[in-house]
Amino acid sequence: MTAYPISKMRGIGPEAAAILKSEGIRTSVGLLRSAKTPQQRLKLAQMVGLHKDRVLDWATAADRMRVNGVGWEYSELLRAAGVKTAIALKFRNPQKLVEKLQEVNKQKMVRLLPTQRTVERWIESAKKLPPIIRY
């Protein structure tokens, strides 16, 4: 599982990142571990002064980024295509997901669309991941 610096995650501004770092949360993996339950997300939201749904968005993005080959941009592309978590990804049909990714990328979210083979690898990777986020 790749750990990305929280400073590379869009939507987490410098002030929120500084607060998270002061709490020892420096990476996407650390964020996911610290925001996996509703109570943890509420606590983080109160610390950074944002709504708990914003923290849930960060956590689900970090969850999608657990999939091998999925960084921030592809995580956001998957979100726009309706894939909320890594666990949700494992139930997707690769061909239909590629079509949906092409459709949502008309807004030019990413420069290079993933191939069907890449999406198949993402799905296989997601199948090996345990669920982390609780609702």
Q: In tens digits, what is the pLDDT along the chain, a chain of 135 residues?
A: 789 999 889 889 999 999 999 999 999 999 999 999 999 999 999 999 999 999 999 999 999 999 999 999 999 999 999 999 999 999 999 999 999 999 999 989 999 999 999 999 999 999 999 999 999
What does the pLDDT read at residue 28?
96
Predicted structure pTM score: 0.94
The C-alpha angle 88, 67, 82, rounded to 5 degrees, equals 35
Nearest to 133 by CA among 23, 7, 38: 38
Secondary structure tally for the chain: helices H, strands E? 8, 0
Question: Residue 40: what pLDDT?
Answer: 98
- Residue that is written with structure tokens 């996911």 in the block: 32
Query: Rounded CA gap, 98 and 119, in Å?
Result: 7
**Are the C-beta atoms of 39 and 56 separated by less than 8 Å?**
no
DSSP string, 93-118: -HHHHHHHHHHHGGG---SSPPPHHH
What is the model's pLDDT at position 8? 84
Phi, psi of 62 (to 5 degrees): -60, -35
Q: Which pLDDT value is given to residue 117? A: 98
Contact 129, 67 (CB under 8 A): yes
